[in-house]
Amino acid sequence: MDIKREPPRKTKRNLLIAGGLIAAVMLTVALSRLEARPPSVSRAEVIIDSVQRGEFVRNVRAPGTLVPENIRYVAAVVSGRVEDRPLRPGAMVTRNTVILVLSNPDEQMLLLTAQEALAQAEQNLVTLRSTLESNRLAQEASIARIRTQLAAAERSKATFEALDATRKGLASEFELKAARELVSELTATLAIEERRLKLMETSMAEQIAGAENTVASNKAVVQLRRDRIAGLHVTAGIDGQLQRLDLELGQWINSGQELARVAQPGRFKAVLRVPESQAKDVVVGQKVEVDLHPAIVTGRVMRVDPISQNATVTVEVALEGDMPPSARSDLSVDGTIEIDRLPDVLFVQRPGNSQPDQTVGLFKLEPDGKTAVRTNVKFGKASVNQIVVEAGLAIGDKIVISDMGTYDTVNRIRIN
């Protein structure tokens, strides 16, 4: 006999399902709110520094080279071919020491041409002086004849006037008038010839001066040609040491080309290449320490180049004191320029990603020293190895200053 069964009651089952769902939701929410375990970093792999307060020395570091203070670039006065090279770089020379001998046959030909032109100009000057002097003497002789004729005419006029005054009728009116007209004509002619003589003398002076200038110009050309030929024997120009002479026998040299460098030994200056972003604070007179590897020499900034080249500015430093024996021309050096000093400021060793007057995120160690939290820090002026802290840190705070670029996505790290 079949027994009728009651359907199972679902109330208890539904409650269990609902409770499970609620627990799963709560667990999911809790897990979503739970922060992921921070990554760990070995303490040996990071660099940690503490914030300090005190005097902050702001400086700029730049590479450069050691250059002689007094250096002469010897250039070719005239084109030519290298015939002799009696000295090598490193030799001590005087200002008259011949360091190179050139040859150029064309210069000899040009000298002969200039000498011929000078001789012709001098001959023309002698001929001109002779001709002008002859013309002047002829003019003076003409004036003398006219004066004699004028004197005779004046005596004749006086005679006719006397005869006419004492005894009328002894001198005709025609004769008296002719005598007077002759005197007037000769007087005017004499005045004209005297003016012509003065004009001739003025012209003589100008013509002779022009001819003398021509002679002087030709003499200058001859002297120039002689100097150019003398320039084929190249001298050092100053007392010192021959630094460079990179030429070979038979090589053709053009006029103006650099031939050699001569420097006075013992006195050097440092030429630094400062990044243009930092050069704006470099001024004449600032203190500099130059590392000659291993010696360190102090100096002062004596010149800042107003032009930037290849993103750097050239700064010349006058070195003080004696140079070490290792000092050599073109020696690579490192210079540290002291810009200024800031008293009583917060500063820290410069982190790898820090820039002056910017805010960056850094990991600051918590008091337990085992965890570090990302903190925004505002920096101010910077030096080579240190930077001023303006906000975000206090004295004694410790931060990680090594490069932490691999942890840009986290805000907390563990330090083991």
SS3 category, 259:
strand
Place of tokens 């022009």: 210
Among all chains, which residue has been given the structure tokens 């005054």? 165
User: Contact 416/41 with Cβ under 8 angstroms?
Assistant: yes
51 touches 347 (CB < 8 A): yes
Q: What CATH number should be reported for the domain holding residue 389?
A: 2.40.420.20
- Specify whether 212 is located in the same domain as 248: no
Specify whether the CB–CB gap between 227 and 77 falls below 8 A. yes
Q: CA torsion, points 314, 317, 322, 327, in degrees to nearest 10?
A: -10
Which residue has tokens 């922060």? 35
Determine the pLDDT at residue 1.
47
CB 305 within 8 A of CB 317: no
CA distance 44 to 66: 39
pLDDT of residue 293: 84
In this prediction, residue 402 carries a pLDDT of 86
Task: Please say whether the beta carbons of 365 and 49 come within 8 A.
Answer: no
pLDDT, position 33: 46
Looking at residue 278, its pLDDT comes to 83
Buried b (16+ CB within 10 A) or exposed e, 314-342: bbbbbbeeebeeebebeeebbbbbebeeb
State the DSSP code for 323: P
**What pLDDT shows up at residue 240?**
87
Residue 122 pLDDT? 94
CB 188 within 8 A of CB 196: no
Write down the pLDDT at residue 301: 94
Query: At 276, which CATH number?
Result: 2.40.30.170
The residue range of the domain holding 357 is 40-56+344-415
Question: pTM above 0.85?
Answer: no
Last residue of a domain, one of 342, 371, 397: 342
Classify 124 as helix, strand or coil: helix
- pLDDT tens sequence across 221-256: 999 999 999 999 999 988 888 988 989 999 999 999
Q: How many domains does the chain have?
A: 4
Kind and range of the H or E run holding 175: helix 173-230
Instruction: Decide: 364 and 399 in contact? Cβ < 8 Å.
Output: yes
The 233-235 sheet, strands edge to edge? 233-235, 98-103, 80-84, 252-253
Same-domain check for residues 287 and 338: yes
Give the residues of the chain that fall short of pLDDT 50.
1, 30-35
**6, part of any domain:** no
Convert the pLDDT of each residue in 375-414 to its tens digit.
999 998 888 788 999 998 989 899 988 888 888 888 888 8
Q: What are the tokens at 384?
A: 């080579």
Residue 98 to residue 91: CA distance in whole angstroms: 12
Q: What is the pLDDT of residue 83?
A: 94
Q: Which of 307, 342, 377 is the last residue of a domain?
A: 342
Query: Same domain for 191 and 276?
Result: no
pLDDT at 326: 79
Q: How many CB atoms lie within 10 A of CB 99?
A: 24
